[in-house]
A and B are shown apart, each in its own frame.
Chain A
Amino acid sequence: MGAGWLFLFAVLYSAGLLFGMVFFVIMFSDLESDYINPIDLCNKLNQFVLPEYGAHAFLALLFLLWGQWTAFLWNVPLLAYNGNKVFNKNHMYDATEIFRTLPSHQKETYFKLAFYLLSFFYYLYRMIVALVAENA
């Protein structure tokens, strides 16, 4: 399979992650305006934490296997960050602390949102470049 298809897949994939982050942002603002209680929020979000990390790791793995070094390196910092959180067992949202830690969670979510957005355009660009090269 060519690089074009890989990046097409990556584009769709990062769009999915992007929507995931939007969902997180909405949930946090719901918590702030008391539309959801912290217990339900944490139960809901915690279901998505590891899948999100996994999905991101999977994409990075694909880049590695295809030898797409730039794309892989672009993802390494976040991969390390996520890995570190899982290793320290503080990747889950804690309902008892959520109001104290909410600002930092929100910051993190916005950061990831921006990251996936940039990724999206980068993969798009790489996809176009690759497809043009293949057709040429």
Chain B
Amino acid sequence: MATPAEQLPPGWAAEWLTWNATETATGRTQWEPPAPQGGVAPYADNAPTGSPPPAHHHAKRRQYAAGQTQAYYGGGGEAILDPGYLAGQADSTWGSAALYAWQTHAAPGVAQPQYYAPTTEPEYINQPGYGQQQPATYGQPVDNLANQFGGMGIAGQKGFQLYTTNLLTSPPDPRDLQIPPPEIRLPPNSCISPSPTANSDPSYQRCTLNAIPTASSLLGKAKIPLALILTPYRSLKEGDEPVPVITDTVIARCRRCRTYINPYVQFIDGGNRWRCCMCNMTNEVPQLFDWDQVRNQPGDRWARAELNHSVVEFVAPTEYMVRPPQPAVYIFLIDVSNTAVQSGMVATATRTIKENLDRIPDEDGRTKVAIICFDTSLYFFSLPQGTTEASMLVVSDIDDVFLPKPNDLLVNLAEARESMENLLDKIGNMFQENSIIGSALGPALQAGFKLMSPIGGKIMVLSSSLPSAGAGGLLQAAVPFYKTFAIECSRAQVSVDMFLFSSAYQDVATLACLPHYTSGQTYYYPAFNAGRAEDAIKFAHEFGEVLAMPIMLEAVMRVRASRGLRMSSFHGNFFVRSTDLLAMPAVPLDQSYAIEIQIEETINTPFVVFQTAVLHTTCYGERRIRVVTMALPTTSSLSEVFASADQVAIATFFANKAVERSLTHKLEDARDLVQKSLIDILIAYKTSMTSGGAGASAQLAISENLKMLPVLTLGLLKNVGVRQSTQIPPDLRAYAQALLTSLPSQLLIPYLYPTFYSLHNMPPEAGEIGEHGVILPPPLPLTSERLERHGLYLIEDGQTMFLWVGRDAVPQLVADVFDLPSYDALRGGKTTLRKIREMRRGPYYPHLYIVKEDGEPPLRLWALSALIQDRADVLPSYQQFISTLKEKVSST
């Protein structure tokens, strides 16, 4: 069973896993809600915590486990085991082979519910099989199991075993990045559902600590930041289970704290009432909660999606609406100045819009579109009903922007389809000879805003030059226009996406403000030239994906947490409208947010719950609430805090924090902050978790699960957005910073620590379609020591891919890959090779560069700068970085 799940990059792994999750879900018939067959009423299972559950439950649960595993074998022939199943099966004959099979399959993205976790069955403690398990590299799960068995008893919830690693002697292994975060081990009976999807998948929501300290003093000792990383609106790849939708508008919420009912509440009073998991308030169960409105008969409460799934969507009744759901509106602001036309941007953009008209979400036929072109004047297009010809209206008074016509500028996409296509065909030619240089982006935005503000929607800006005319001209520095305008937009439910193309300075940092505060996104194509096929393809692909995105409109997001926890500060693309309410006019897919959490008072509960609710209008006009619930155990032990830390989430948080600091202070301060945070963690670990004896000076200790944090931090410090260098154009830096604060972990981690494959000596099965998609070769550590002269390598960070060809590459290899006779015939530089399959979430289409070992130095250096474990200029190598850390840690 050596399927290389461990070798898959995060994207594949997640895909594979969700496939696995689907499998689990389809096996749903296997489980029944706490069934009456044991003679227990359904509600009895939800007795208040503390009272020991009846013993026969366990026996029953074990049976489920057995049934489930059989289902796996019978169904898919898969030896994939959830840790929970294993736990339940501990007394059966699973050998270590089975365990190993599971370990190697573990990959990021897995939801590891603990519903089959042993509760109180001491007969397992001395189970011989467990004692023999070696804490291997992928030892975490094994240890977890061992722990669970060892620690059962009084609390029923035993912590994570801590394994210390010496950073000086164990170099980073990229495969470690694909290990899932430390498992969430909830106390028994905290969840009323046995469903594997009852706790949040890390791709939706993850926490830097998977065991929450009970007091802020404990958190302070560990020095690990406490933060949530969330992507509530995550894309579904093929095979992903869709988010269950609750259509009966029976929405049970806590009277006091407004928490939505979820799998972590308790039913009391024979099921007539439920106790809130956040504030302990007792609430009535709504009358129609147990009524199946579709069949009009009594329904099964335990089958309700909100009690079984961590991520659900409620269809919202009218109480949740300020006004009727609005249609989706798209306004395109196209720069038609000389620069834009000459670069081919206008032609590519109009063609892409035209080709993607079918993909723009318009299920209900209500979607509206408008096009406004601008140079130093504004060009409106009127598309009256009944004609297929558009007429152009020019407004050259840009100081006081007005709409030249009250209607026909913003038209229904379905009705005006033909005239829209005609218009898009013509725009390119219309401005072909335009010699005007300059950009009235500010007035164009004001015009778009005027057109859209009664409804709200998305403004897509395509701009090739620095705004120069009218409001928002950026010829002088520090124009407050974009910030004030962003606030107006947020109020009117208008979101702005920026597509920027300039070859000269365009002030991306200022322009990116607009997407930042209106929940949009910035896309940057420096020195775009459609004459190069690669540029055109990249932009057309990404723009097309953005157009096709089913966006959430008029959204507000709020995160609630158990008593004692408070959301203290927010990072990401939105406007903070009140202390805990985030306004997002249009939420794109796969955007990540980070929220810092404060422990305000001592937590007395065995577990805590975080619930994210996004009230939104779908782009087909339905008001909905997406709810993501995550439960985490609490702990009062410092070693558990360390052992439960999620390095990927911490690195994601660091990226957000670094960018924030660089905006309010200097870049140098941002780097210092990140490095200091890492050193603080290392010092905290050294002082509290190691004996500090004679051997201590020869090591730099950290727990096994945080082993990759230093190299990820180094990757962040070397990232274009934060790196120390005077060579980086400010626009590139600003764009990198926009990515650092909005990419979900799955894309951010390779952006910090690129994946590096050796292609000339791949294992034979690599490249073939395996059970779980294309099998990829194992990733290598990012150091040029791995580059051989005859080799072929791929280095990719999700935004750029480098194909490195060694100078002694065998002609056969060159012929196979590039269809060229020899290495000498090969040209370095930007290129397209066959079809690159996008493996990760998000709209990004990386540029591919062929880098010859003896090719042009700048390209070589660029490619080599992705190998972040090497020394580059003033930037330290991994070894140097680690020894600096070591010095700083020992000097305290």
Contacts and interface: CB of A to CB of B under 8 A. Distances in A.
B689 interface: no
Contact of A37 (B517, B569, B570, B578): B578
B379 interface: no
B576 interface: yes
B487 interface: yes
A39 interface: yes
Contact of B478 (A32, A33, A89): A89
Contacts of B575: 95-96
Contacts of A89: 478
Contacts of A34: 578-579, 581
Interface string A93-119: 011101110000000000000000000
B483 A99 contact: no
Contacts of B483: 94, 96
B871 interface: no
A38 B478 contact: no
Interface residues of A, number: 14
B486 interface: yes
Nearest to B660: A100
A32 B579 contact: yes
A77 to B, nearest CB: 24
Given A39-B491, A89-B478, A96 B579 contact: no
Interface string A39-60: 1000000000000000000000
Interface in B423-468: none
Contacts, number: 31
Contacts of B581: 34
B705 to A, nearest CB: 31
B577 interface: yes
A37 B556 CA distance: 14
A34 B576 CA distance: 12
A39 B487 contact: yes
Question: In which size bucket is the chain B interface?
Answer: 10 to 19
Given A94-B483, A96-B486, A100-B569, A38 B491 contact: no
Contacts of A39: 487, 491
B568 to A, nearest CB: 9
B487 A99 contact: no
Nearest to B513: A96
Given A89-B478, A96-B486, A38 B577 contact: yes
Interface string B537-579: 0000000000000000000000000000000011000011111
Contacts of A37: 577-578
B864 to A, nearest CB: 38
Contacts of A100: 569, 664
Contact of A99 (B486, B569, B664): B569
Contact of A95 (B478, B487, B570, B664): B487
A11 B252 CA distance: 58
A39 B570 CA distance: 17
Nearest to B491: A39
17 contacts: A32-B579, A34-B578, A34-B581, A37-B577, A38-B576, A39-B487, A39-B491, A89-B478, A94-B483, A95-B487, A95-B575, A96-B483, A96-B486, A96-B487, A96-B517, A96-B575, A99-B579
Given A96-B517, A100-B569, 18 more contacts: A31-B578, A31-B579, A32-B579, A33-B579, A34-B578, A34-B579, A34-B581, A37-B577, A39-B487, A89-B478, A95-B487, A95-B575, A96-B483, A96-B486, A96-B487, A96-B576, A98-B576, A99-B570
Interface of B: 478, 483, 486-487, 491, 517, 569-570, 575-579, 581, 664
Interface of A: 31-34, 37-39, 89, 94-96, 98-100
Which 3 A-B pairs have CB atoms at the shortest separation, nearest pair first? A34-B578, A99-B576, A95-B487
